[in-house]
Amino acid sequence: MTRKPLIAGNWKMNATHLEAIQMVQKLSYRLDPDDYERVDVAVFPAFTALRSAQTVIETDHLAISLGAQDVDWRAQGAFTGAVSAPMLAALGVRFVIVGHSERRAVFGDTEAEVGKKTRAVVEGGMTPIVAVGESLEQRDAGHTTSVITSQLRAGVKGLESDAVARSVIAYEPVWAIGTGRTADPDTASEAIAALRDEIASSHGDGAAAAVRILYGGSVNPGNIAAFMAKRQIDGALVGGASLDPDQFAAVIRYWI
């Protein structure tokens, strides 16, 4: 089973729609058709920039996928400030991050809500990127595997095996996000292997072999190759380094 690598740029709360247009264009100038053959590339602008990014991607026929950073699990109704999966799907969004640690820690997203969001994304015909990760205290207490497998179980609860096979999981240790401190590739690979085992027992060996599992947390052009050298690691969810098109392109072209 070969899994095509995915390099996903999570822009978080950065970039107006005008800046997003430039970022997508600049990224595209730095990539060539071979790069897209080897790697799936996706960018995750803020909600306000999705329409503009979509327009650039479609007008210039770019092989860059559009992603959203979050979603509400309800389809519509009196939920001020919320954005639903059908709204994202209508913008050509292909990937949606659910359960990012900033959503869990800052906005209080619970494991049960993350599961509902994942199901809403799948029902909307899009691909969820289910983010899981342990805090430093949890790691130091030796609880990494139990924390991340519990988050994963809740995140994919109720999904059919073929939906899990097409999904993406991102292992992002909380202490590595935005800190400049990465997990070492062996440690990340072990955690990812534990996540794959969890999928094997919950959804079968076929889903476990097919699901793409990314590493995230302070990925940059200097460290990406060491992660990609690990058989278990199928790509990266990149925050800070995805804001600079030069750096993000260098991460995408990790073999160079």
Cα separation, 232 vs 85, in Å, equals: 30
Whole-number minimum distance, CB 222 to ligand PGA, in Å?
13
Q: What are the CA-CA distances from residue 22 to residues 17, 65, 78, 244, 250 (Å)?
A: 9, 16, 34, 11, 17
Cβ at position 58, least distance to ligand PGA in Å: 25
Q: Identify whether 17 is a catalytic site residue.
A: no
Toward ligand PGA, which CB reaches closer, 71 or 207?
71
Interacting residue ranges for ligand PGA, rule: CB under 6 A: 10, 172, 177-178, 216-219, 237-241
- Angstrom distance (rounded) from CA 66 to CA 88: 10
Closest separation between CB of residue 76 and ligand PGA, Å?
28
CA distance 95 to 26: 21
The answer to whether 195 touches 149, Cβ cutoff 8 Å, is yes
Nearest residue relative to ligand PGA (C-beta): 239
User: Could you confirm whether 143 is annotated as catalytic?
Assistant: no
| Minimum distance of ligand PGA from residue 176's CB (angstroms) | 6
Q: Is 178 or 204 the residue whose CB approaches ligand PGA more closely?
A: 178
SS3 call for 214: strand
**Nearer residue to ligand PGA within complex by CB, 7 or 122:** 7
Catalytic residue (one of 102, 172, 198, 203): 172
Question: Quick one: which H or E segment has residue 154?
Answer: helix 144-155
The catalytic residues are: 100, 172
